[in-house]
Amino acid sequence: MTGREFVQGLMEEMERLFARLGETDTLQSESDEQVDVVTVLKLALKSELEASELAGFWMPTTHEVDAKMALALQCGDEMKHYGLISQRLAELGEDLADFDPVADGHSPLYQYLRGLRTTVERIAGGPFASEAIAEIRNTQFVNFCRAVGDDGTAKLYSDIIQPEEVHHHHLGREILEKYATTPELQEAAAAAVRNTLAIADELRALATKTTGIHNIPVS
């Protein structure tokens, strides 16, 4: 199987899983059923911080220069998103002076991804799969913001944040197509994608109901 065929198969697998999500499923599982704009934005701060930290952590020990560039770009973009979301929370009247997004520690997904050692696994779990999840979650969030009349937050996501998450996913896809070219590398990359989908908070409730995606123990 070529890298391209392999990645196409992974895309179809993810799309089948995402197609089973309801309108606000990713928001509800993320925020324990309490869906309101401020709660989701505060949770988003943690996701942005973790994505930036991971990309920065991986960058110096990822050998391939194009993968390094994608990680460096992502590291900067995710912290930029963090800043924009903080600004939006301030506009909504939230005081973030004492807010620590990782007060409860980093997420199980962060812990898992941080342990990945090879380029194909990192790109598969990070830019490719996690950013695909972000795209789905953001689409649901934009619709939710519009439904409750928060056009400012909807616009921030649809105009700035969402296009950049989509770009991260596309870069991940290209790099995976280029480097996941042997059965061994494809097996490792597919495992990283499946584990990421199984661990992600947004999809966890769904994963327990889905055959083919196996829950693994998380620390």
Most distant pair of Cα atoms in the chain: their distance: 53
| One residue of 88, 122, 168, 173 binding Fe ion per CB under 5 A | 168
Place of tokens 């179809």: 12
Binding to Fe ion by residue 81, rule CB under 5 A?
Answer: yes
DSSP 28-64: HHHTTT---HHHHHHHHHHHHHHHHHHHHHHGGG---
Q: Which stretch binds Fe ion (CB under 5 A): 97-105, 125-133, 137-145, 194-202?
A: 125-133
Which residue's C-beta sits nearest to Fe ion?
A: 81
Place of tokens 């007060």: 103
- Which value, in Å, is the radius of gyration of the alpha carbons in the chain? 17
CB of 43 to Fe ion, least distance (A): 13
- Give the footprint of Fe ion on residues 92-121 (CB under 5 A): none
* Closest separation in Å from C-beta 81 to Fe ion: 4
DSSP category for residue 127 = I
Q: How far is the CB of 115 from Fe ion (least distance, A)?
A: 20
Among 30, 50, 53, 78, binds Fe ion (CB under 5 A): 78
Residues 6+ apart with CB under 8 A from 64: 119, 175, 179
Interface characters, 20-59, with Fe ion (x: CB under 5 A): ----------------------------x-----------
Dump the DSSP string for 4-38.
HHHHHHHHHHHHHHHHT--TTHHHHHHTTT---HH
Q: Considering the rule CB under 5 A, would residue 88 count as an interface residue with Fe ion? A: no
Binding part of the chain for Fe ion, among 60-68, 103-111, 141-149, 160-168 by CB under 5 A, reads: 160-168
What is the binding site for Fe ion (CB under 5 A)? 48, 78, 81, 131, 165, 168
